[in-house]
Amino acid sequence: MLLFLPLWVEKIISAFAAVFILTAQVIFVIDIFKRKIKPSVLSWIGWALLMGTSLVSQIFSMGWAWSLTGLAFSTIGCVCIFFTSISLKQYIIKKTDWKFLALGFICVIIYYISKNPWLTTCFAILADLAVGIPTLVHACKDPHTQKSVAWKLGLISWILSLILCIGHDWLYTLFPIYLFLFNGIMIFFTREKTYNRK
């Protein structure tokens, strides 16, 4: 494996990525406390479980890589957002959200059956998207319930994570690419112009 960056540079970029994602998560929690947003709570617990599955799978199969820092912080942050939303009763749950959550748990079953990190990671991404559909729908239909600067900070974090992936196995790249795209779509759906059209 040809490393793109020296290890000390990877550690610095990884620290910045972690700071951005951690800041995004804290801002999201603050936005919940201020009652500015109403997260789709099943998306957040689903994300925590699925990202955690992918993280554990990659660490067990290939060891720790600095590019996983953002994924680790995201997992912890999703758990915090879930519990904050539940405790403050500041969340959205629709009946259809349960179907998407159930679809997401397919990844966990595949993880226990296959033990294949590529298969698990690919299904984790598909499951993560399935769990995230309620959040995307809420952002489309009612943008102010999901609007937060946290999505922009998350995007920056995943850009830094993608830089760290250069020179590493493609397995490490899959989740950051997906999360970069998801954050970008959320930024697009919740932009100011959306409000002006409604």
CA atoms within 13 A on the CB side of 198: 13
**69-97: average pLDDT:** 88
Helix (H) or strand (E) holding 125: helix 117-141
Domain span holding position 166? 7-197
**All residues at 6 or more sequence positions from 35 whose CB lies less than 8 Å from its CB, including other chains:** 88, 90
In a domain, 146, yes or no: yes
**pLDDT by residue (tens digit) across 175-187?**
889 989 999 999 9
Question: What tokens were used for 153?
Answer: 């900070």
In a domain, 171, yes or no: yes
pLDDT of 4 reads 67
* pLDDT band per the 50, 70, 90 thresholds, residue 52: confident
Mark residue 65 as left, alpha or beta (left: phi above 0; alpha: psi -120 to 50; beta: remaining): beta
Question: Residue 1 pLDDT more than 50?
Answer: no
In a domain, 2, yes or no: no
**pLDDT by residue (tens digit) across 105-140?**
776 677 667 777 787 778 778 888 888 999 999 999
Number of domains in the chain: 1
Mean of per-residue pLDDT scores for the chain: 84
In a domain, 1, yes or no: no
In a domain, 11, yes or no: yes
In a domain, 131, yes or no: yes
Using a pLDDT cut of 70, give the percent of the chain over it: 91
pLDDT of 123 reads 77
User: Quick check: helix, strand or coil at residue 136?
Assistant: helix
Strand partners, 40: 92
**pLDDT by residue (tens digit) across 143-189?**
998 999 999 999 998 899 888 888 778 887 888 899 899 999 999 99
Going by C-alpha positions, the residue among 114, 121, 110 that lies closest to residue 165 is 121
The whole-angstrom separation of Cα 29 and Cα 1 is: 39
